[in-house]
Amino acid sequence: MKSLNSSAKLAALILLPLLTLGGALGGLAALTPASTPVPSPMVVTLGQSRAADLALRASPPDLEAAILASQLALSQAPYDTSSRLRLAYIDSLDGKLSPEGVAHLERSYELLPLDQYVAVWRVGFALNHWGDLTPDLRKKVEAETFAVLATRRRGQMLATLDAVTSPIGIVPAIFWRQRLKSSASR
């Protein structure tokens, strides 16, 4: 029970500033005239993310266009976690996460240790590339996992832990599930 309280406190410490920032950005957006000739970086970034997603969904996927759109989004908004993760994903398509892909994943954790929008996907991705991750990055993935397990997205995270296919990544997934069962029985 003590670790659950710690996880809940960690989640609250991370989410409160994000909610505050979201409210401030919403207030600023309301002050921006609709006829502004230059769109805000957030709107431009969303457009680039959409372009990158469409390029990945094409048949066959246009990886070069997805990479360029993601890089453009990052040049306009360096805190864009989704673009960083998209670049890591594209990097992993050959079956291995290169040091550059690991750097994108690590940077996403440095910028936003708990990202409610991508946490479940990010943990699954990290576990499926567990052998490529640094020990420090592995700790960040574990911390995010247990923070999400303390939220209403617990079921999604448990499903993600069950869906790990990497022989190396399945070990921590099983261990974390067992740790969760042990803490629940106390």
Domain boundaries, the chain: 2-17+41-185
Q: 3-state class of 157 per DSSP?
A: helix
Q: For residue 46, what pLDDT is reported? A: 58
Q: For residue 7, what pLDDT is reported? A: 56
Residue 135 neighbours by CB distance under 10 Å: 6
Q: Which amino acid is at 106?
A: E
Q: For residue 2, what pLDDT is reported? A: 52
DSSP 47-75: HHHHHHHHHHHSSS--HHHHHHHHHHHHH
- Residues 61-74 as b/e (b if ≥16 CB within 10 A, e otherwise) read ebeeebbebbebbb
Q: For residue 9, what pLDDT is reported? A: 58
Q: Which CATH architecture has domain 2-17+41-185?
A: Alpha Horseshoe (1.25)
Q: For residue 12, what pLDDT is reported? A: 52
pLDDT one digit per residue (tens) for the chain, 186 residues = 455 566 555 555 554 454 444 444 444 344 333 433 333 333 344 567 888 889 989 999 999 999 999 999 999 888 889 999 999 999 999 999 999 999 999 999 999 999 988 999 999 999 999 999 999 999 999 999 999 999 999 999 999 999 999 999 999 999 999 998 887 776
Against a cut of 0.85, is the pTM above it?
no
How many Å separate Cα 13 from the centre of its chain? 18
